[in-house]
Amino acid sequence: MHTLLFPEKRSKSSMNCKGPWKLKKWLVILNILVVSLLSSSSSACSFPAVYNFGDSNSDTGSASAAFGRVPSPNGETFFGRPSGRYSDGRLIIDFMADKLGLPYLNAYLDALQPNFRHGANFAVAGSTIQPGNGELFDAGFNPLSLDIQLLQFEQLKARTNEFYNQAKSSQIKSTFPRMEDFSKALYTLDSGQNDLHFWLTTIGEEQAKASIPSIINQFAMAIEKLYQEGARTFWIHNTGPVGCLPLFFVEDTPQPGNADQNGCIKSYNEVAQEFNKQLKDRVSQLRTQLDDALIIYVDIYSAKYTLISEAKKLGFVNPLEYCCMHTEDSHASCRQRVIVNGTEVNGVSCEDPSKYISWDNIHYTEAANHWIANRIMDGSLSDPPIPLNETCQKLLL
Ligand SMILES: *[C@@H]1O[C@H](CO)[C@@H](O)[C@H](O)[C@H]1NC(C)=O
Ligand SMILES: *[C@@H]1O[C@H](CO)[C@@H](O)[C@H](O)[C@H]1NC(C)=O
């Protein structure tokens, strides 16, 4: 294109005279503008960064860094070692990063060589939307709830700003976010499953339903806070079919009449559906309130439930079975090491994790996560229905 606009042949007058040279300079600038406009409208969408919040569905290492390393055989399929994720391999957020052409997100709490140039992951396994308290801790959940994750984000942003004004080494700077990227980044959230899990196993279905409005409020406050911090593009997952987690079948089977056609606990899934309905309503309110933001609600419940319903057809074993366990004690969770005869031992993986939907009776396998990610990224389960890789362009139009 440059050769078209600037033939090698130069006229004498343009060599000697200031006027035409100025014109040429403007043509260069115009040319650059045209080229960049053309390429931005035809190439793939590019977010400079992703900031993620949530629980173990998208934790890439924060709980592992804070509360003890996620043990083997987690990570065996893709990373070949524990990677801070509760799965044999990648999570949905990893497949999303791939699709966006970004590296896998570093966990905010991981102190060893973090690189936040393309975002950070604040999600923590075992966290809730509701602020942590003694009851939640006793039940095995942790204090790094959504409000705390937001404080961490605000701190990352504020301290990055200070750092940029002081730092001299550009090499160190290159591992920090760019200040101007915060408003251009994608903000992803996947939280609420642990709130439901806690209620369902403590106060029961009816009270769980009654508690939903208050956590939806807390969730909406988080979105508003992020918006105030400059976030403009949101990708929000609803919550999955909690009643299909094999965890609940380890010690009990559903009451007669309380199982759906897949054997999942019907009353638990109804609570998840009620949560999702209220979340969706609230997200549409937020859309009118924050009218220069793009807020996408993603029905991950449907993706997961379809996978479970079509498990056989898709080549998976019974969806209520799971891959990783302790052979000595099938009730012990593969998420932890257990002591057998005075020695700590890891759980044992099944022969072929890619045949299972559930990895450890709560978390999904890499194969399942891959399928679910493909199902949601094309936008067909989203409101508004925008594919992930075209999301950043929509905000500009
Ligand atoms: C988004 O992804 C789909 C499916 O992979 C592809 O067909 C489409 O061209 C992509 N869009 C852009 C803007 O890259
Ligand atoms: C634990 O030790 C007992 C007694 O030595 C032995 O019978 C048992 O097999 C051991 N269990 C395992 C899982 O190694």
pLDDT per position as a tens digit, 336-354: 999 988 999 999 999 999 9
E strand spans, the chain: 50-54, 119-121, 186-190, 233-237, 294-298, 338-340, 343-345, 382-383
Integer angstrom CA distances of residue 344 from 72, 90, 341: 12, 26, 8
Q: Where does residue 30 rank: exposed (0-12), middle (13-18), buried (19+ CB within 10 A)?
A: exposed
pLDDT per position as a tens digit, 208-221: 999 999 999 999 99
Protein residue with its CA nearest to atom 9 in ligand 2: 341
In three-state secondary structure terms, 170 is helix
- Which active-site residues does the annotation give? 56, 360, 363
In the prediction, which pLDDT does 396 show? 56
- Say if domain 47-314+364-396 classifies as CATH 3.40.50: yes
Protein residue with its CA nearest to atom 6 in ligand 2: 341
Residue type, 367: A
Report, as an integer, the average pLDDT of 67-79: 97
- Burial per residue of 241-259, b for 16 or more beta-carbon CB atoms within 10 angstroms, e otherwise: bbbbbbbbbeeeebeeeeb
Ligand closest to CA 386: 1
Ligand closest to CA 343: 2
In three-state secondary structure terms, 134 is helix
The reported pTM is 0.87
Share of the chain above pLDDT 70, in %: 87
